[in-house]
Amino acid sequence: MNKKYLIAVFMAAALPCAASATSVTLYGVLDVNFSHFSQEGSRSTGLNSGGLGGSRFGLRGVEKLNEDLDVIFTLEGGFDLNTGESSQGKRLFGRQSFVGLKSKTYGTVTAGRLQGLGYRFSGEFDPMMIAPGSVMGSLTGEVPRAWMYNPLGDPARMDNAILYVSPKISNFEFGYQHGFRGIDRVPGVRNKRFDLASLTYDDGALRVSYGFGHSSATTDNSPGTSKQIEHALGVRYQFSWATLFGSYQIRKTHGYSGSDRAWQVGARVPVSDAGAVHMAYGRVNNETPFGNEPNTDDYGVRTWAVGYVHNLSKRTILYSYFKQLNNRGNSRQTIFPPSGMPSPHRLNAKVTAFGIGIHHRF
């Protein structure tokens, strides 16, 4: 992180305030889908909360300190629309909770529980953006050892973290994030330190982003407690007839030979003023074992998905999806959310899911 930028941002807070204006916004998402999951002859059908976006409520606030500097905060809690229970380990504000300073000149600094650089990367380069239909989610988030750059949860969401995002300069933007050691709510995740950095170019039509991630070791007794390094590259280009997506990610674990690699391609194709078809295909191959258990390396997944998203209004959306996941090697992976259905017992199992849902923002 550029220390001069940080010092300048915090020093700007000491400037005289001509007029202080505070605003607080209550917002939320209500999302439910009817889905059917199938694998090895087992089936699960029912309602799931959060498809196009997780159900949530939140408070977002801004206080204007001067012409250049604002204080910002967000408190956002996820919940299961079908039961009313809190999500993210039943935390009150499990999706994100932070406070920070935003300067037009020097950039933005936030601290707390963050949807950080890994989560933002996935949101920008996931063509599906339907949780149970997300190809990127199956490649990097649903695996037994989630990546730092994934669209579903920790460590892409991160406790005890501080994030700096620069202002856009000549279409370029830089980000740096540090996660301090914390309570090990997610095994093998929060007892580590994390450092992530990103460089993004965006001219409106073309968006290209490179992300780097490093996690410290704790005991070095297993892949999950060893030092890890990740690289992520995402590309998105918007044509008049479609938006095309591509991403490539690689992970290396200290002390283990081989690398984990994930890639996907996809598109969103408008078919009317209100509707678009989403599609994606991707693969992941993990050469690193997930633990000390035998036969957990050589873990591969091939998956594809297609969906349709239709805007009924600016706030209400109908959506549908179909997804197929093919396990390879020693993989026994299912599809998020499994609705109580266990992972496959046999190797090379095929898992499918389809569903329809409604999404409303307020």
Q: pLDDT of the chain along its 362 residues, tens only? A: 444 443 444 444 444 444 455 799 999 999 999 999 999 878 889 999 999 999 999 999 999 999 999 999 999 999 999 999 999 889 999 999 999 999 999 999 999 999 999 999 999 999 999 999 999 999 999 887 889 999 988 889 999 999 999 999 999 999 999 999 776 555 555 578 999 999 999 999 999 999 999 998 776 667 777 889 999 999 999 999 999 999 999 999 988 888 999 999 999 999 999 999 999 999 999 888 766 555 556 789 999 999 999 999 999 999 999 999 999 998 889 998 766 678 888 899 999 999 999 999 99
Buried b (16+ CB within 10 A) or exposed e, 182-217: beeebebbbbbbbebbbebeeeeeebbbebbbebbe
Tell which residue, 253, 183, 258, 174, has the closest CA to residue 211: 174
* Contact between 306 and 279 (Cβ < 8 Å): yes
Residues sharing a CB contact under 8 Å with residue 170, sequence separation 6 or more, in sequence order: none
- Looking at residue 114, what is its pLDDT? 96
- Looking at residue 340, what is its pLDDT? 65
- Looking at residue 295, what is its pLDDT? 59
- Looking at residue 184, what is its pLDDT? 56
| Backbone φ and ψ of 310, nearest 5° | -130, 125
Amino acid letter, 57:
F
Residues sharing a CB contact under 8 Å with residue 87, sequence separation 6 or more, in sequence order: 49, 50, 54, 55, 77, 78, 79, 80, 94, 95
CATH number of 3-14+24-361: 2.40.160.10
- For residues 238 and 199, what is the distance between their CA atoms, to the nearest angstrom? 20
Domain spans of the chain, in order of start: 3-14+24-361
Peptide bond into 155 cis (omega under 30): yes
- For residues 27 and 50, what is the distance between their CA atoms, to the nearest angstrom? 16
Report pTM. Answer: 0.88
* Contact between 109 and 98 (Cβ < 8 Å): no
- For residues 136 and 125, what is the distance between their CA atoms, to the nearest angstrom? 9
- Looking at residue 7, what is its pLDDT? 42
* Contact between 125 and 234 (Cβ < 8 Å): yes
- Looking at residue 183, what is its pLDDT? 62
- Looking at residue 222, what is its pLDDT? 72
- Looking at residue 94, what is its pLDDT? 94
